[in-house]
Amino acid sequence: MQVMVRVNGVLVQKVGVARLPLTVADGATVADVLGMLVAQHPQVAAEVARAVPVVAGVHVETTAVLLPNQEVALLLPVAGG
């Protein structure tokens, strides 16, 4: 099935695009998608490890099962003030 991964900030700079289509197995989890993203772009491993995944506007656990054509947005924690 096809899913979309949306990244921002430093991830866009490292990956080169803001949205990446990925083909994953039916029943894939957010963790599966993150693993595939890191396998294809190892330079983002540290950021992906601390990113907060969001699906349909809701923060989800990495165990969440995805449906076809869903988008997983990766939000990076921000520090400062």
DSSP, collapsed to helix, strand or coil, labels residue 61 as coil
Note the pLDDT of residue 14. 94
The H or E element spanning position 77 is none
Q: How confident is the model at residue 79 (pLDDT cuts 50, 70, 90)?
A: low
Note the pLDDT of residue 80. 56
Pick the CATH number of 2-75 from 3.10.20.30, 3.40.50.720, 3.40.640.10, 3.30.70.380: 3.10.20.30
For the chain, the C-alpha Rg in angstroms (whole number) is 12
- Chain position carrying tokens 């997983």: 72
* CB-based contact 20:12 (threshold 8 Å): no
DSSP, collapsed to helix, strand or coil, labels residue 80 as coil
* CB-based contact 20:74 (threshold 8 Å): no
pLDDT in tens, 2-28: 999 999 989 999 999 999 999 999 999
pTM value? 0.91
